[in-house]
Amino acid sequence: MNKYELAVVVSAKIEDDERAATIEKVKAYIERFGGTITNVDEWGKKRLAYEVQKMKEAFYYFIQFDAESTVPAEVESHVRIMENVIRYLCVRQDEA
């Protein structure tokens, strides 16, 4: 099992409950493909480095999970088409 971190940037134009549902859906994808979520870090609303889809701010979430090497590609393929997710990045964490 490898350790991964998925950074998800969610649109600030949606309601709180819709944003929570988006993150729950991402977590469900991770678990459905065999990953185990170890931590969810919510950074809240932050200013974007540059404008994305005419938005200057968005909500940042960092989800750490343990999974096999095939899981991140599966999760990314589903997160990519989610309407409220404006950016995402999944990286493998080093064993430190």
For the residues of 14-39, what is the DSSP string, one character each?
A: S-HHHHHHHHHHHHHHHHHTT-EEEE
Length of the chain: 96
Taking the C-alpha atoms of residue 91 and residue 72, their distance in angstroms, rounded to an integer, is: 8
Q: What pLDDT shows up at residue 25?
A: 95
> CATH homologous superfamily of domain 2-83?
Ribosomal protein S6/Translation elongation factor EF1B (3.30.70.60)
d(C-alpha 39, C-alpha 36), whole Å: 9
Q: So what's the pLDDT on residue 62? A: 96
Q: How far apart are CA 50 and CA 52, in angstroms?
A: 6
Give the pLDDT score at 95: 72
Structural domain spans, the chain: 2-83
Model confidence pTM above 0.75? yes
- What average pLDDT does range 59-86 have in this prediction? 94
Percent above pLDDT 90 for the chain: 92
- Cβ 11 vs Cβ 93: under 8 Å: no
Residue 96 pLDDT: 61
Q: Quote the pLDDT of residue 1.
A: 87
* Average pLDDT estimate for 56-62: 95
